[in-house]
Amino acid sequence: MLNQIKRNPYFASVCMCLVLLVVYMFMTSESPGEYTVLNDGRVIKIDRDAFEPEVIEDIKTVDSKYPRIPHIIHFVYISGGKESKGVPSKYEKNIRSFLRFHPNWTYYFWSDETARALILERHPDLISLYDSYSRPIVKADALRYVLMYEFGGVYADLDLECLRPLDRATMKYACILSPEPFVHSAVWYGQNYFLTNAILLCRKKHPFYLQLIKELPNYAHFSGSLQSAGTVFFTNIFEKFSKIPSHGDFIFKFDIDDDTPYFYQAKLESAETENATYVVNSQYFMDSIDTGTLAYLKFTTMCVLYSFWNDLVRRGCKLWKKKKANAVQSPHAYINHMWVHSASKWFFKSKKKMVPIHSIIPHVEQFTSIS
């Protein structure tokens, strides 16, 4: 066989691929990382390869007539071109899913014109930077931080489908953040976590969002949208605000009464304070992973090439394998993320059927400058 490998490079390549595949299957098997722990007289099962516990109950809440997070939902469509009062038709169903569960909430729609008017009026020092952003996605990233600071409520990307009412999530905490799917951060980026800015819930005038706005100029030199205003930027500022090490060593913690991600070390009591940011289990708002063809190829490639020597990738690949085997979302999920990559240049140049926003949300609010 060794002679055949030497004579036939193609055969050698096939053998190498098979070896890598066997190693990948072995390293992402379900056997390692499972522990049974006795805690306070109760036996629980902990997977030390996981990034967070499994959710077994709904997000914590309190009985109150007054939500801490305002019942406002913000939708944004920045075209980067001619002013539009609507959204691409493919997002209509998603917007209506929010209306279905929140018929009495206040809705704001932000377009190129109204977004710029808001920033010019409320944050004039930011307008030159905002105008300098050439990509619509970067403008939309910066805008959502201003919306959260000035109005509070819920910001939702257009490719999010609402699965059930958000009211419960608006009562106990003043500001809620969610991680991206850990499969993405671990396998694609080799990071313990990233925080998503696709879904945001917060009271207005929260200091975290003010810090985000103030930090935007310091990251303007980055060419990538994720680094200049997107999820990488968002996570970096969260770490600054929370005074935690930047993606430091993963600290495994567990508490049978706490379903927060393992990297989140804040005590639940402090998470309830007015200026805290509470990081929830990703299964509430980011339980769906990207299942597109390109994503599948990227997962497969990374898992075959890196999971046998990079422990973080191995753990992420194990989670990916688990999610592939059971594609059913958690019954406690509030949101289904469609993972429409609308930031692509071709998307904004392509012809899209537009739907006027008032035909979807008749009572929608649109900002008018008072100046």
Look at residue 286 and tell me whether its pLDDT is greater than 60.
Answer: yes
Look at residue 209 and tell me whether its pLDDT is greater than 60.
Answer: yes
CATH 3.90.550 at 36-288+329-360, yes or no: yes
Bridge partners (DSSP) listed for residue 279 = 177
**How would residue 78 be classed by pLDDT, with cut points 50, 70 and 90?**
very high
Quickly count helices (H) and strands (E) in the chain.
Answer: 17, 12
The CA-based angle 336-339-344, given to 5 degrees, is 155
Segment 65-79 shows an average pLDDT of 96
Segment 60-81 shows an average pLDDT of 94
Residue with tokens 């489908």: 161
Look at residue 74 and tell me whether its pLDDT is greater than 50.
Answer: yes
Look at residue 3 and tell me whether its pLDDT is greater than 70.
Answer: no
Residue 31's pLDDT is 47
184-188, 266-270, 322-326 — most confident range: 184-188
- Alpha-carbon distance of 154 to 71, in angstroms, equals 7
Ordered by start, the domain boundaries in the chain are 36-288+329-360
Segment 4-26 shows an average pLDDT of 53
Segment 89-94 shows an average pLDDT of 97
- Alpha-carbon distance of 144 to 172, in angstroms, equals 22
Residue 265's pLDDT is 76
Look at residue 166 and tell me whether its pLDDT is greater than 90.
Answer: yes
The CA-based angle 183-39-273, given to 5 degrees, is 65
Higher pLDDT, 32 or 192: 192
DSSP 251-299: ----BTTB-S-TT----HHHHTSTT--EE--HHHH--PPP-SHHHHHHH
**How would residue 80 be classed by pLDDT, with cut points 50, 70 and 90?**
confident
- pLDDT, averaged across the chain: 86
Structure tokens at 142: 């910066």
Structure tokens at 243: 């005074």
CB 174 within 8 Å of CB 205:
no
- Alpha-carbon distance of 195 to 304, in angstroms, equals 26
**What stretch of H or E contains 162?**
strand 160-162
Look at residue 24 and tell me whether its pLDDT is greater than 50.
Answer: no
**How would residue 46 be classed by pLDDT, with cut points 50, 70 and 90?**
confident
* Nearest alpha carbon to residue 105 among 115, 91, 95: 95
The CA-based angle 25-186-228, given to 5 degrees, is 150
Residue 346's pLDDT is 37
Model confidence, pTM: 0.87
3-state SS class at 202: strand
Residue 326's pLDDT is 85
* Nearest alpha carbon to residue 341 among 303, 284, 301, 294: 294
Which tens digits make up the pLDDT trace of 301-359?
999 999 888 999 999 999 999 998 888 889 999 999 999 864 444 344 456 799 999 99
- Alpha-carbon distance of 148 to 198, in angstroms, equals 12
**What stretch of H or E contains 96?**
helix 92-101
3-state SS class at 226: helix
**How would residue 258 be classed by pLDDT, with cut points 50, 70 and 90?**
confident
**How would residue 114 be classed by pLDDT, with cut points 50, 70 and 90?**
very high
Half-sphere exposure of 201 (CA within 13 A, CB side): 24
